[in-house]
Chain A
Amino acid sequence: MMNSIEKLISVSKGVSLLYVEDDQILQQETAQLLKNFFEKIDLAQNGEEGLELFELGKYEIIITDINMPKVNGVEMVKAIRRKDRHQMIIVISAHDEPHYLIDLINAGVQHFLSKPIDLTGLISVLYEFCVEHQQRAATLSPDE
């Protein structure tokens, strides 16, 4: 466990993150936890806010809940996908929305995490994503 945390910290520097969650307490607590790994974390209350932030800045990773007012997670993911096919997205699913999952898989969501979030699982997914980001950055930079 300790190992995986350290591994994540070793790759997470410089990675920016958007976290979309409508439950404020959960949002704050999760954000506090994530701050242990990431420097830049932006928070959104719902899909609408999430999309606005997505338009303004570039995030390496987007973590989102599904059930949210105004624009829900599924709609937001679909909107993002239309603009960026490669955006890395983690969807937190509460298991009671199975009908959404197929939509999300079709929208090309790479990873699902079940609620309540298992810390080990979260760290390992974030690690994978960070590594993938680094690889992408490495393959892109020689061309520049």
Chain B
Amino acid sequence: MLFQPLRLRTVLLISLGSALLLSNALTWYIGQKRQVEGLRNAYFERIYWISESLASNTTEWVGTANLAQLEINFTLLDSQPELVYVFVRSMENEILFAYDDNLIEEYEPEVIRWDPEQIAVLEDREAQRDQTEFQTATYQLREQVLLADALIDEEVRGKAGEVVFEARRQLVFWGELVGIMHIGLSQEPLDKAVAENQRSLLIIEALLILFGLIISVVVARRVAAPIQQLTARLALLKTDSLRNSDSLQQFESQLRDLELADIPANTWESHQLVNAFQHLQNQLLLQIQLIQESATDLQTSHAELQQAYEELQQMQQQLVQSTKMASMGEMLAMIAHQWRQPLATINMIASSIKLEQQLGNATAEGTLEKLKKIQDTTSFLSRTINDFQDFFRPDRQRAFVRINELVQRTVEIIGLSLQTQDIELVREFGELPRLELFPNEIQQALINLLKNAEEALEESEIEGKRLVLRTYAQEDKQVLEVQDNAGGVPEEVVDQIFFPYFSTKNKLNGTGLGLYMSRMIIEDHLGGKLTVVNKDGGACFRVELNERLPTNAEQNMMAETPTTNLNLSVEQSGSLLNFPKKVASQ
């Protein structure tokens, strides 16, 4: 994290410095080029003036052939350090005078390369002189330039490599060309001047760069320091562990302690930046506060939901319990009903024996026969007890049973009351293999269905009341149908009949739990399906059972998401929530 401000500053410095360097180099290059040009021109002018002065001093002596005087004049030349050589030629190409012969030899100036054409050119240029503006001809570089009447030849290289500028001058005496003077001047002063100039330029450049560096460092400091501090402070925030709510609180306190206002924001930009971050900090704090508030809300509502769910579960249990109690009550009523007749019979036989004894007309065979009848009846009673005992056994045991046998056993429990109600019971049993079931539970569901049909038939005015029990196989499932002819379920309530406490029956003993309980047993416990359709002039309850029961794990899953109960809570939440009151009132 510490690298970031450093890098920022470095980038700033480098970019600033390189920009300065580049611009400096450019100005330096252009400037130098110009300066060198200027120096050159100045030097050439100087050469011209030297040649002018030499020409004016010597022309007369050349014209009059006063060589002694010429020599005297030239002795003065020693005072001109840049002067390399001077010699004067006559028109007959004879060297009249030479200053420093050795050098002349070394440079091999035009002495050897004398060319009459060149003189013609010179003459021609002389002729043009009047017509041409002096100044225009003066400063033309990089060619043989005629400076007034002096021809300066650039870069006559000596044997040692030294460069000499040669000026040639016509010596005109009384309108007559009497000789040509060659003046060789060293390039050294020009080089020196150029070097001098370059050196001073370099110094200025160096100063400029230094100045630029200092300025950029200062600016970078001022700009980068707040950013650096800001970054350092922001780096203290541990955003990595923001996932759980504890560290959110920690994060909040860290954020609060950032103290961004302390950062020395001494430029406008950094001031803006720090302001923006302060704004951001405040916004974040606000958001965190909101998140924390909504988290608290969420926790509260979660707790409320949890409580409601627990209450619902409790109600569910109460519901199951009360249904169980209700069906137990029904069973007890059935037992009472079923026992009444046999008990009356036993009582009657016993009374009969007693009476015959009192009257004295008892025979041993007759009495024995009567006693046997009593025994038959009591053993029937004990058989019915077995049926009920099985039914009330609390454990839920899986067993492989034939559905037909189970239906038959159930009919035996309830059948008598069907007979009394004048209901014809029709069995249409198909050949079916054994099924894995909880026999007690399916029997309980079946009793509920039979009771429901019986009550419907009891209330109806129809002639020829019929209750059909039908079993058959369908694909890999077994189906049991309980069909009555009591007119069927009214269409407007057909969706509701499996809801708890829903009852169309006028009688007080309709608990409204029977069908709900049946569906819960068949669908939630046995993994089957219970539906109802209206057909053949009555209701047909259809129980669909699988060959195998769901495993315990599957059952737990079903218990966690009880389909029946879920439908309930959505569509009839009112009745569920009012459940305890209803129980109390009942």
A29 touching B373, Cβ below 8 Å: yes
| Cα distance, A122 to B333, chains bound together (Å) | 27
CB within 8 A of B351: which of A68, A115, A119?
A119
A116 touching B347, Cβ below 8 Å: yes
The 8 A CB mask of A1-43 against B (1 = contact, 0 = none) is: 1100100000000000000001101100110110010000000
CB within 8 A of B421: which of A32, A33, A36, A69?
A69
A102: Cβ under 8 A from any B Cβ: no
B373 touching A25, Cβ below 8 Å: yes
A29 touching B356, Cβ below 8 Å: no
Q: Which of B44-52, B73-81, B338-346, B436-444 contacts A (4 or more CB under 8 A)?
A: B338-346
CB within 8 A of B349: which of A5, A22, A29, A70?
A29
| Cα distance, A116 to B531, chains bound together (Å) | 43
How many A-B residue pairs lie within 8 Å, measured between CB atoms?
60
Distance in Å from the Cβ of B352 to the closest Cβ of chain A?
A: 4
List, in ascending order, chain A residues with CB within 8 A of B284's CB. none
Smallest Cβ-Cβ distance to A4: which chain B residue: B358
| Cα distance, A128 to B377, chains bound together (Å) | 32
Distance in Å from the Cβ of A104 to the closest Cβ of chain B?
A: 17
B359 touching A30, Cβ below 8 Å: no
B337: Cβ under 8 A from any A Cβ: yes
B422 touching A29, Cβ below 8 Å: no
List, in ascending order, chain A residues with CB within 8 A of B359's CB. 5, 36
List, in ascending order, chain A residues with CB within 8 A of B551's CB. none
A25 touching B377, Cβ below 8 Å: yes
A79: Cβ under 8 A from any B Cβ: no
B420 touching A25, Cβ below 8 Å: no
B65: Cβ under 8 A from any A Cβ: no
List, in ascending order, chain B residues with CB within 8 A of A1's CB. 358
List, in ascending order, chain A residues with CB within 8 A of B358's CB. 1-2, 5
Distance in Å from the Cβ of B416 to the closest Cβ of chain A?
A: 9
Smallest Cβ-Cβ distance to A66: which chain B residue: B420
B354 touching A119, Cβ below 8 Å: yes
Q: A69-B420, A96-B336 are in contact. Are A25 and B345 (CB under 8 A)?
A: yes
Distance in Å from the Cβ of B288 to the closest Cβ of chain A?
A: 73
Classify the interface of chain A: helix, strand, loop or mixed. Answer: loop
B348: Cβ under 8 A from any A Cβ: yes
| Cα distance, A96 to B351, chains bound together (Å) | 23
Number of interface residues of A (CB under 8 A): 23
A117 touching B420, Cβ below 8 Å: no
A105: Cβ under 8 A from any B Cβ: no
List, in ascending order, chain B residues with CB within 8 A of A67's CB. 420
B202: Cβ under 8 A from any A Cβ: no
The 8 A CB mask of B325-340 against A (1 = contact, 0 = none) is: 0000000010011001
The 8 A CB mask of B415-428 against A (1 = contact, 0 = none) is: 00001111000000
Smallest Cβ-Cβ distance to B351: which chain A residue: A119
Distance in Å from the Cβ of A9 to the closest Cβ of chain B?
A: 8
Smallest Cβ-Cβ distance to B333: which chain A residue: A96
CB within 8 A of B348: which of A26, A36, A69, A96?
A26
List, in ascending order, chain A residues with CB within 8 A of B351's CB. 33, 117, 119, 122
B420 touching A33, Cβ below 8 Å: no
| Cα distance, A94 to B421, chains bound together (Å) | 16
CB within 8 A of A26: which of B345, B361, B370?
B345
A116 touching B352, Cβ below 8 Å: no
| Cα distance, A119 to B355, chains bound together (Å) | 9
Distance in Å from the Cβ of A109 to the closest Cβ of chain B?
A: 19
List, in ascending order, chain A residues with CB within 8 A of B422's CB. 69-70
* Chain A CB within 10 A, most for which of B341, B348, B352: B348
| Cα distance, A105 to B336, chains bound together (Å) | 25
Q: A29-B352, A36-B355, A69-B422 are in contact. Are A23 and B337 (CB under 8 A)?
A: no
For the complex of A and B, list the 6 residue pairs with the smallest distance between their C-beta atoms, beginning with the closest: A116-B347, A119-B351, A69-B422, A33-B352, A116-B344, A29-B348
8 contacts between A and B (CB under 8 A): A5-B355, A26-B348, A29-B373, A69-B422, A115-B340, A115-B344, A116-B343, A119-B351
Known contacts A26-B345, A119-B355, then 19 further A-B pairs from the complex at CB < 8 Å, ordered by chain A residue: A22-B419, A22-B420, A23-B344, A25-B373, A26-B341, A29-B349, A30-B348, A33-B351, A33-B352, A36-B359, A69-B420, A69-B422, A96-B337, A116-B344, A116-B346, A116-B348, A117-B344, A117-B348, A119-B351
